[in-house]
Amino acid sequence: MVIVLNSSTTPEQIEKLKQELENYGCSVWPTYGQFQTILGIVGDTGKLDRDYLLSKTYVEKVLSVQEPYKKANRTFHPENTIINIGNQTIGGNQVAIIAGPCSVESREQIVNIAQEVKAAGAGFLRGGAFKPRTSPYSFQGMQQEGLELLKQARAASGLPIVTEIMSIKQLENHHEDIDIIQIGARNMQNFDLLKAAGQINKPILLKRGQSATVEELLMSAEYIMAGGNEKVILCERGIRTFETYTRNTLDLSAVLAIKRLSHLPVIVDPSHAAGLWWMVDSLSKAAVAVGADGLIIEVHQDPSNAKCDGQQSIKPERFTSLMKSLREIARIDNRVL
Amino acid sequence: MVIVLNSSTTPEQIEKLKQELENYGCSVWPTYGQFQTILGIVGDTGKLDRDYLLSKTYVEKVLSVQEPYKKANRTFHPENTIINIGNQTIGGNQVAIIAGPCSVESREQIVNIAQEVKAAGAGFLRGGAFKPRTSPYSFQGMQQEGLELLKQARAASGLPIVTEIMSIKQLENHHEDIDIIQIGARNMQNFDLLKAAGQINKPILLKRGQSATVEELLMSAEYIMAGGNEKVILCERGIRTFETYTRNTLDLSAVLAIKRLSHLPVIVDPSHAAGLWWMVDSLSKAAVAVGADGLIIEVHQDPSNAKCDGQQSIKPERFTSLMKSLREIARIDNRVL
Amino acid sequence: MVIVLNSSTTPEQIEKLKQELENYGCSVWPTYGQFQTILGIVGDTGKLDRDYLLSKTYVEKVLSVQEPYKKANRTFHPENTIINIGNQTIGGNQVAIIAGPCSVESREQIVNIAQEVKAAGAGFLRGGAFKPRTSPYSFQGMQQEGLELLKQARAASGLPIVTEIMSIKQLENHHEDIDIIQIGARNMQNFDLLKAAGQINKPILLKRGQSATVEELLMSAEYIMAGGNEKVILCERGIRTFETYTRNTLDLSAVLAIKRLSHLPVIVDPSHAAGLWWMVDSLSKAAVAVGADGLIIEVHQDPSNAKCDGQQSIKPERFTSLMKSLREIARIDNRVL
Amino acid sequence: MVIVLNSSTTPEQIEKLKQELENYGCSVWPTYGQFQTILGIVGDTGKLDRDYLLSKTYVEKVLSVQEPYKKANRTFHPENTIINIGNQTIGGNQVAIIAGPCSVESREQIVNIAQEVKAAGAGFLRGGAFKPRTSPYSFQGMQQEGLELLKQARAASGLPIVTEIMSIKQLENHHEDIDIIQIGARNMQNFDLLKAAGQINKPILLKRGQSATVEELLMSAEYIMAGGNEKVILCERGIRTFETYTRNTLDLSAVLAIKRLSHLPVIVDPSHAAGLWWMVDSLSKAAVAVGADGLIIEVHQDPSNAKCDGQQSIKPERFTSLMKSLREIARIDNRVL
């Protein structure tokens, strides 16, 4: 950590601050300039509170040189984390493909899609039972019944299931039924939910909030990991920018940033990022080319009659042909899919 | 609502869509151009699903002409909503001032600040008991004990208390003790929490998410109101932009937009928006000048030793002198403070 | 400046870098941590190139502690700059009001508006002769003829004129006729134009680019000042964000940031920021309350028939009544208007 | 175009507006709802001014259904534009690779890099002679001398040269020497420069401004094309967002949007987007996978001693190995590189 003091700081203030920092177990190395004094701080700076330091009137800036997350940090855990789910893995040499409809609508619908995406090579089935919707008047998902249908689709296809939970109560009631528990973008900083997710022993798919920095995403992962659950899969799903042609702006650089900063696997959701079905193919290919550990793609037999997000879903035939292209791209980096 | 169809749409597709829309109780008026057909739709367009329409391959665009919120909409409720809390009001001719520390730290601290801000003219006491923090390793608030101290400060000062709850469980356990329940920016789209807030009979202070549009904020208010609780106070607290000098960018135009679109009161939080104590005075003055119904300001006796957000808190003396300026500005618009 | 080196940096690399920095006249103070070495650099760090340092593989971060601008920097020029134009000033105790139409349309139009805004108390007349328009098919301004009409309006009203130039050629041909030369948001980083503006002896009104940080705005001012022209007036006119209700998001915190970092005067353009005439009054009041040195406001007799930006222009009567409110707000801070 | 009128609009106002619109050659189809009247307008809506319509007090919204650009619009020019430069093409089946240093530094440097990137398979040489720099105190390029060295590198390697011009004067003086003239992101809305570029007969590489929408980029292309020069190559180079880990956020969805909306070729600049050399490989692969028509990549023999942007340049060996991967990705879509 680096603390920049303004030119009017007295030697007494510097000495007092120095001792305070040393009491936290840090060592302090000052640099004296004409307009500023710079304090270099090393040691266990994790205990220092940036806000507290900034509130001193003679402190001009506090610059962090170390990341504020520990368990999610690649520095302290250099190898990639590989998460095992049934006979599948996420984070290793295999590119994980999660596919399925935005929301579960009927037994027939979800079982059929499960079988179709399995046949095309997907490793996991997605489907929403509890749906976060901007409007209280929109379809809110089939709730518990949807979850039961997902379980039937799992039984029929053999695919592990991925679904979102939106509250601690849903997490408590249903986590045993779900193979990968999704925490959505809107809940990325619902800290009570993150803490609860840290107490269970199931992989968590944590989506990036639409205005969250990479560092904030990793801090939210840290909340889960600090509770004891280290099976966290991160997901880039587009960020909010001024551009309105797409629903959000897919940030593929974030995949590279996350993989450098953290050992956790990171997947990409091209469907929600663009919000446009005809972009899904190309963005999926780009995501595999950039090195993402997997994809989560919306597939629906009849998008025009989907109960939600039809405009961003592709049909099973298109998904099947996309899988072929993705396999070829993965092969270039010696990965399988 | 306006639906734009592409040039290859067949007369049969148009007729089929027209009938479908009419079955929803809408009436459809087509405009035939060379490259596009435009359908003007009037009637109860609230039931139409934008996503569903967009998923049809021949639909090029769907343009909304009416706001998707009803209970929060000024069109259907032209007069300002005024919310009574004890002998105070929010939304009327009086500019409401909520002041107090970021977090409750001790009985002495919170009681003293309550008395100081009361003496300066504040109408409400704020103080955090449950704190949403980016890092799991930061101080998380005094929790239930903090809430008890807030109640003691209320008893000592007579000021109604405003504090944040972060989960449905906290809401259920504590809503009776709180005068205005805050739902923070990070939970603005925690829909299960919003629904729960719709079931209780207490004013809700709903903060704008840092990347939420004005329309999304009003949709979140609609979630609460749709449940039966119409006492919603909105709060502009800065949005996330590319500018990093301030923590967020205070968007005072949003106050004007909200007041035009909705009848709900809207207040401003200059402390969290800027994240810099020396900007709080000037931004508070600007917020009253622009017409906000109130302010929520962080005040602390000893910001350098505050347990959180010290860098954005002002001292009681400064708050007292700020109140004088605010009173003069309010008077220009014939308001009191 | 602070340079953070990664843990694998060798003592030889550190020594070599240290000498290199010392050759630039800087002194280097190292801090040795377990995972990083931090170099505190003081002295003439302005000559050091951040990009150059970052390109070394063992350099992890370069953190600036000093602002990269000199002539615009308040540190080296603590008093406010006051610019004299005719018998008017900008930057002192008087709030400067610049008013007039988006574009000059006819002699009658511009002379009448000049007289009306003068009568209401404006100190300067604005009016566009050369218009930057997003579309090549939109009205591009009356060009040189418009400038002639502006001069006639100046003669008739006695108000100094403010108008935009868009190219070096226009600057060279017309700068003697203009009292304050505006460089628009889109040209804020047109560096060749800034250099040319540095060569003339006329005040420059430099508008913030719609995605420019405060620091970048000050660096563009530095371009002009480095050439010898220190009469720079900065203008906040809204930044581009995700919110689409307003054309841009007015960033009043930027006024405070600029006034802290720089001695240059800063004014606000509420008309272009919001793009909505009914917001102009309230945003103007907020801008004066926050401490801006002036305003630039679009006024038109018949906004519905304006050749550009009619939707953001207010009528002379409204402007007159706004001036009264602004005067009262200015008085609270002991300023005149 | 769709115009939404508010509920208080009188039949006379509607009739008058209708006639006005018909005088512009448009036909008007009204839809009467309870709270709004919607006018569907077809015909030559290009002449209608959105701002003018919005300035009428009874007009609530103006919604565009047609793109405001004509010559750049794929609707009126369905086939891809292919631009021939020497024996190379951009926009066809061959993925165009432009490579070279940020700035020309010496004859030896530029000639060597030209030969190296040519050997690796690049089709064009880039190199800056006139450099737009945020700070007036940074290296501004070798100017005319740099251009001479570029010509020598062209002679030595046979590669056409791509370089930026920053002003009309530079364009006039040097366009004959340059094979592809770059207009940088900061000048994307320097309309006088765009008009000048429309008068010459050379391909223009137009970079997206860092806060420009796809539509604004296409409008700037339209400025050039409206002048008569239809050889425009667009370039996505990252947009400004709240994320600060990368310099800008590469927006690969924009490539897909542009290719759908326009027939013009679009290339990607991963070096400037990320600002981090170690991301260039992966982002280049993603850009080819997403379907970009080409790439512009910074290559330098000794990035640590580059005079600018060393931190985003890759070495020739790395470039050579990247080219191999890119070729394999291009092949999947039956393209060559």
Domain end position, chosen among B31, B63, B95: B63
Domain end position, chosen among C17, C35, C63: C63
Question: Closest residue of A to B312, CA-based?
Answer: A55
Residue numbers in A near C6 (CB within 8 A): none
Q: Residue C150 is encoded by which pair of tokens?
A: 């502006």
Q: Give per-residue pLDDT as tens, D180-213.
A: 999 999 999 999 999 999 999 999 999 999 999 9
* Contact at CB, B289 and C278, closer than 8 angstroms: no
Higher pLDDT, D46 or A81: A81
Q: Average pLDDT over chain D, rounded to whole?
A: 93
Q: Give per-residue pLDDT as tens, D222-240.
A: 999 999 999 999 999 999 9
Of chain D residues 186-215, which have a CB less than 8 A from chain B?
211
Of chain A residues 115-134, which have a CB less than 8 A from chain B?
132-134
Within an 8 Å CB–CB cutoff, is residue A326 touching chain D?
no
Q: What is the pLDDT of residue A258?
A: 98
- β-strand partners of A27: A42
**For range B79-105, the mean pLDDT:** 96
* Residue C337 is assigned to a structural domain of this protein: no
Residue numbers in D near B244 (CB within 8 A): 244
Residue numbers in B near D35 (CB within 8 A): 66, 75
* Contact at CB, D191 and C132, closer than 8 angstroms: yes
Q: What is the pLDDT of residue D38?
A: 87
Round the CA-based radius of gyration of chain B to a whole number and report it: 23
**For range C255-269, the mean pLDDT:** 98
Q: What is the pLDDT of residue A33?
A: 80
Q: Give the list of residues 6+ apart from residue D39 with CB closer than 8 angstroms, or none.
A: D2, D3, D4, D5, D14, D17, D18, D21, D28, D29, D30, D31
Q: Which of C244, C257, C283 sits opposite B290 (nearest CB)?
A: C283
Does A24 score more than 90 pLDDT? no
Q: How far apart, in Å, are the Cα atoms of D14 and each of A149, B2, B28, C222, D42? A: 54, 19, 19, 52, 16
ipTM of the complex: 0.93
Q: What is the pLDDT of residue B27?
A: 87
DSSP secondary-structure letter at D245? S
Q: Give per-residue pLDDT as tens, B134-152.
A: 889 888 999 999 999 999 9
Task: Please give the share of chain A, as a percent, with pLDDT higher than 90.
Answer: 75
Q: Which of B256, B278, B325 sits opposite C282 (nearest CB)?
A: B256
CB pairs under 8 A between A and D: 111
**For range A299-326, the mean pLDDT:** 90
Same domain, A111 and A209: yes
* Residue A68 is assigned to a structural domain of this protein: no
CA–CA distance, A164 with A171 (Å, rounded to integer): 9
Q: Average pLDDT over chain A, rounded to whole?
A: 93
Within an 8 Å CB–CB cutoff, is residue B216 touching chain A?
yes
Same domain, C243 and C151: yes
> Looking at chain C, which subunits does it touch, using at least 3 CB pairs closer than 8 Å as the criterion?
A, B, D
Q: How many CB atoms lie within 10 A of CB A151?
A: 14
Higher pLDDT, C63 or C112: C112
* Shortest CA gap C233–chain B (Å): 20
Does B324 score more than 80 pLDDT? yes
Higher pLDDT, B168 or C64: B168
Domain count of the fold of chain A = 2
* Residue A236 is assigned to a structural domain of this protein: yes
Q: Is residue B314 within 8 Å of residue B298, measured between CB atoms?
A: yes
CA–CA distance, B276 with B271 (Å, rounded to integer): 7
Within an 8 Å CB–CB cutoff, is residue D240 touching chain C?
yes
Query: DSSP of B41-91, one letter per residue?
Result: EEE-GGGS-HHHHHTSTTEEEEE--S-S-STTBGGG--SPP-EEETTEEES
* Residue C263 is assigned to a structural domain of this protein: yes
CA–CA distance, C151 with C174 (Å, rounded to integer): 11
Predicted confidence band of residue C227 (pLDDT cuts 50, 70, 90): very high
Residue numbers in B near D60 (CB within 8 A): 65
CATH of the domain at D313: 3.20.20.70
Same domain, D242 and D117: yes
Does A30 score more than 80 pLDDT? yes
Same domain, B271 and B298: yes
Within an 8 Å CB–CB cutoff, is residue C303 touching chain D?
yes
Q: What is the pLDDT of residue C77?
A: 92
Same domain, C9 and C115: no
**Beta B83-85 vs D59-63: how paired, if at all?**
unpaired
Q: Which of C239, C242, C332 sits opposite B329 (nearest CB)?
A: C332
Q: Give per-residue pLDDT as tens, A242-266.
A: 999 999 999 999 999 999 999 999 9
Predicted confidence band of residue A66 (pLDDT cuts 50, 70, 90): confident
Same domain, A43 and A78: no
Same domain, D81 and D55: no
Question: Closest residue of D to B42, CA-based?
Answer: D33
Q: What is the pLDDT of residue A143?
A: 95
* Residue B266 is assigned to a structural domain of this protein: yes
Q: Give per-residue pLDDT as tens, A182-212.
A: 999 999 999 999 999 999 999 999 999 999 9
Q: What is the pLDDT of residue C169?
A: 95
Domain end position, chosen among B21, B41, B63: B63
Least confident of B200-214, C258-272, D14-28, D139-153: D14-28
Same domain, A245 and A137: yes
Mutation target among D4, D48, D51 for the C interface, most CBs of C within 10 A: D51
Of chain C residues 48-107, which have a CB less than 8 A from chain A?
60-61, 63, 65-66, 75
Q: Give per-residue pLDDT as tens, B194-228.
A: 999 999 999 999 999 999 999 999 999 999 999 99
Of chain D residues 7-46, which have a CB less than 8 A from chain C?
46
Does D30 score more than 90 pLDDT? no
Q: Is residue D206 within 8 Å of residue D234, measured between CB atoms?
A: yes
Same domain, B52 and B91: no
**For range A127-151, the mean pLDDT:** 93
* Contact at CB, B253 and C241, closer than 8 angstroms: no
Predicted confidence band of residue B8 (pLDDT cuts 50, 70, 90): confident
Same domain, C226 and C309: yes
Higher pLDDT, C33 or B4: B4
Q: What is the pLDDT of residue A83?
A: 98
> Looking at chain B, which subunits does it touch, using at least 3 CB pairs closer than 8 Å as the criterion?
A, C, D
Domain with A222 in it: 74-332
> Looking at chain A, which subunits does it touch, using at least 3 CB pairs closer than 8 Å as the criterion?
B, C, D
Q: Give per-residue pLDDT as tens, B242-295.
A: 999 999 999 999 999 999 999 999 999 999 999 999 999 999 999 999 999 999
* Residue B337 is assigned to a structural domain of this protein: no
Least confident of A18-27, A60-69, B115-124, D277-286: A60-69
* Residue D337 is assigned to a structural domain of this protein: no
CA quadruple D300, D302, D306, D310: dihedral sign: positive
Q: Give per-residue pLDDT as tens, D274-314.
A: 999 999 999 999 999 999 999 999 999 988 777 877 788 99
Within an 8 Å CB–CB cutoff, is residue C252 touching chain B?
yes
Predicted confidence band of residue A323 (pLDDT cuts 50, 70, 90): very high
* Residue A41 is assigned to a structural domain of this protein: yes
Within an 8 Å CB–CB cutoff, is residue A273 touching chain D?
yes
Same domain, B184 and B120: yes
Least confident of B41-50, C173-182, D163-172: B41-50
- β-strand partners of D73: D262
Does C37 score more than 90 pLDDT? no
CATH of the domain at D56: 3.30.70.1140
Within an 8 Å CB–CB cutoff, is residue B289 touching chain C?
yes
Same domain, A6 and A107: no
Q: Average pLDDT over chain C, rounded to whole?
A: 93
* Contact at CB, C189 and D134, closer than 8 angstroms: yes
